Structure 1
Amino acid sequence: MQLSEIREQIIAGLHQARPDVPDIGGATRIVQDLELDSVAVMDFILSVEDRFDISIPLDRVADIVTVDDLAQVVERLGNAERA
Structure 2
Amino acid sequence: MQIRGMRGHHQLTVVGSEMDVSHRSMRDDIASIFEQVLNRPVDITDDTDIVEDLGMDSLGVMNFVMAIEDFYDISIPLDRITQVQTVGDLIRAVEELRKGA
Task: Determine which structure has greater relative contact order: mean sequence separation of CA pairs < 8 Å that are 6+ residues apart, divided by chain length.
Answer: 1
Extract unaligned runs of 5+ from structure 1: none
In the aligned structure 1, how far is the partner of 2:31 from the partner of 2:25?
10
Give secondary structure in 2 for the equivalent of 1:28: coil
**Equivalent of residue 89 in structure 2, options 69, 74, 79:** 69
In the aligned structure 1, how far is the partner of 2:34 from the partner of 2:89?
14
Does residue 36 of the first structure (1) align with residue 62 of the second (2)?
no
For residues 37-68 of structure 1, give each alpha carbon's deviation from its aligned partner in whole angstroms, at most 9, with x where no partner exists.
Answer: 00110110110000000001000100100111
In the aligned structure 1, how far is the partner of 2:23 from the partner of 2:41?
25
Q: Whose Rg is larger? A: 2
Per the alignment, residue 19 of structure 1 pairs with: 40
Per the alignment, residue 10 of structure 1 pairs with: 30
8 Å contact from structure 1 (residues 28, 66) kept in 2:
yes
Extract unaligned runs of 5+ from structure 2: 1-20
**Equivalent of residue 60 in structure 1, options 69, 80, 87:** 80
In the aligned structure 1, how far is the partner of 2:22 from the partner of 2:41?
27
CA RMSD of aligned residues (A): 1.6
Q: Which amino acid aligns with 1:40?
A: G
**Equivalent of residue 70 in structure 2, options 31, 35, 50:** 50
State the shift of 1:20 in Å: 5.0
TM-score, normalised with respect to structure 2: 0.71
> If each structure's strand is expressed as a fraction of its own residues, which one has the higher value?
2
